């Protein structure tokens, strides 16, 4: 018997759901590239993971952080930056916690004690320290020094990484704060430490430090405009797109093959299965969006209590969250500048084969296709909503579905069955 207490689906943005779908490239990048290279002292850039809301950026890095914690690495919590706050203060507090994990607070070296005192000051005052008449280094260099000391402690341990996750980075409105934060993190990532290897030779190695920044696509413009090539050299940016239907179907495969194990009321275990048609319905309604996938799965789970999730339960459950699904896409569209929104609406009104830049521009009332070029470029390379090609196509399938189809309503036949089922229950 399934209940809300044992649902393995989690549509919240800050959770790592039990039913995990896709993102194998990013997970493999952490396991096979970032962690082993940084542990070996080889240079590797930080990672910036951007994307529209609902694509699972935070959940992805939280999953990476959970893997790091299981391996014994020193991991900060998810450092979400609310709008209008000072990121240096938030990061300084987190680094003091990591310093305690590294046992720096017990060091008898006077310089370590002095450094920790300076970081405490940053944690209290943040970037505003820069605006005061003060002696000593600025906040960003103080954070860099502490990161270097934590990295040295990790080297002494020999098998430990330091992982820092800063979320909602697009909320850092202050140019000074963003500049200081990126410089502090970047300087620590590129710092080289001389270490002695067998035979007595000294070699330079980087610190076992990984930094993940997550946020909305506009952060690429913010960081690029303010730090330019320096940011690009120190951080590699990935803009997430929707998942493929195969990723979603594979995530649900255990329900079809062996069932999903849950506890029963007799302190034993039972399994919940899923009809193939139910899986197909969840995949279709999700449109590649991790948030919508978790939402559809959760509501299907809640729609019944038996040991088999049916297609009718998927449709009935989705009926209760149609407005939430629509609002999710509407929020994405509402954030767009008017020109970008207009471009998408005109593109959606064309047949797929007719979606060329020239035709879209003409529909927008522009004389030449090149007049719409910068808009299309941003929607492609920055936001990841379309793909420029011959013809243009939608990459963000939930946006496409919202603008061009019945979605988020289920197909007419399913809606009729849902209505009939509800009348029968009444």
Max Cα distance, the chain (Å):
82
Whether residues 285 and 187 share a domain: the answer is no
Residue 166, domain member (yes or no): yes
Report residue 174 CA to chain centroid gap: 22
pLDDT for 419 equals 47
CA gap 266, 257 in Å, rounded: 24
Residues of the chain short of pLDDT 70, as ranges, are 13, 107-108, 127-137, 224-229, 265, 412-426
CA gap 326, 384 in Å, rounded: 19
Residue 201, domain member (yes or no): yes
Q: Which residues contact 400 (CB under 8 A, 6 or more apart)?
A: 287, 348, 394
Q: Which two tokens stand for residue 251?
A: 């995530």
Residue 15, domain member (yes or no): no
| 37, 92, 350, 376 from 360: Cα distances, Å | 46, 48, 8, 10
Cα dihedral 61, 62, 67, 72 in deg (nearest 10):
110
Q: Total domain count for the chain? A: 3
pLDDT for 229 equals 63
Whether residues 201 and 155 share a domain: the answer is yes
Whether residues 66 and 196 share a domain: the answer is yes
Whether residues 28 and 162 share a domain: the answer is yes
Residue 19, domain member (yes or no): no
CATH code for the domain of 343: 1.10.10
**What does pTM read for this prediction?**
0.88
Whether residues 386 and 415 share a domain: the answer is no
- What is the sign of the dihedral through the CA atoms of 24, 283, 10 and 306? negative
Residue 400, domain member (yes or no): yes
pLDDT for 349 equals 95
333-360, pLDDT tens digit by residue? 999 999 999 999 999 999 999 999 999 9
Whether residues 226 and 247 share a domain: the answer is no
pLDDT for 424 equals 39
CA gap 237, 140 in Å, rounded: 22
Residue range(s) defining the domain that contains residue 384: 334-404
CA gap 83, 97 in Å, rounded: 23
Which among 261, 258, 256 has a CA at the least distance from the CA of 277? 256
pLDDT for 421 equals 46
Whether residues 202 and 129 share a domain: the answer is yes
């Amino acid at each position: 018997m399934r209940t809300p207490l044992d649902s393995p689906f989690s549509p919240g943005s800050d959770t790592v759901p039990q039913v995990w779908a896709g993102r194998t490239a990013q997970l493999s990048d952490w396991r096979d590239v970032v962690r082993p290279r940084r542990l070996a002292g080889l240079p590797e850039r930080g990672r910036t993971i951007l994307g529209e809301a609902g694509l699972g950026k935070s959940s992805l890095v939280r999953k990476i952080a959970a893997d790091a914690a299981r391996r014994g690495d020193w991991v900060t919590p998810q450092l979400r930056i609310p709008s209008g706050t000072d990121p240096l203060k938030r990061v300084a507090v987190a680094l003091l916690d990591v310093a305690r994990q590294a046992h720096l607070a017990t060091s008898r070296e006077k310089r370590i004690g002095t450094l920790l005192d300076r970081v405490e000051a940053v944690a209290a005052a943040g970037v505003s320290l820069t605006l005061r008449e003060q002696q000593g280094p600025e906040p960003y260099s103080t954070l860099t020094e502490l990161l270097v000391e934590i990295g040295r402690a990790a080297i002494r341990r020999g098998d430990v990484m330091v992982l820092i996750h800063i979320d909602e980075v697009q909320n850092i409105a202050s140019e000074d704060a963003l500049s200081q934060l990126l410089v502090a993190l970047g300087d620590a990532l590129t710092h080289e430490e001389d270490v002695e290897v067998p035979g007595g030779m000294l070699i330079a190695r980087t610190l076992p430090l990984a930094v993940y920044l997550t946020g909305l696509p506009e952060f690429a413009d913010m960081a690029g405009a303010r730090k330019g090539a320096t940011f690009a050299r120190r951080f590699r940016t990935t803009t997430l797109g929707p998942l493929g239907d195969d990723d979603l179907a594979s995530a649900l495969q255990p329900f079809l093959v062996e069932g999903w194990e849950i506890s029963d009321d007799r302190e034993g275990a039972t399994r919940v299965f899923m009809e193939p048609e139910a899986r197909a319905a969840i995949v279709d309604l999700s449109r590649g969006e991790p948030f919508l996938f978790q939402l559809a799965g959760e509501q299907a789970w809640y729609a019944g209590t038996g040991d088999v999730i049916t297609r009718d339960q998927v449709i009935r459950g989705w009926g209760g969250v149609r407005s939430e699904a629509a609002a999710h896409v509407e929020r994405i569209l509402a954030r767009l500048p008017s020109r970008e929104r207009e471009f998408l609406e005109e593109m959606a009104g064309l047949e797929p084969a007719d979606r060329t830049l020239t035709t879209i521009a003409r529909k927008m009332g522009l004389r030449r296709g090149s007049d719409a070029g910068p808009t299309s470029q941003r929607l492609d390379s920055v936001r990841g909503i379309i793909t420029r090609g011959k013809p243009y196509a939608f990459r963000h399938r939930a946006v496409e579905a919202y603008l061009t189809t019945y979605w988020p309503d289920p197909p007419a036949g399913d809606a009729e069955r849902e209505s009939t089922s509800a009348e029968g229950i009444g």
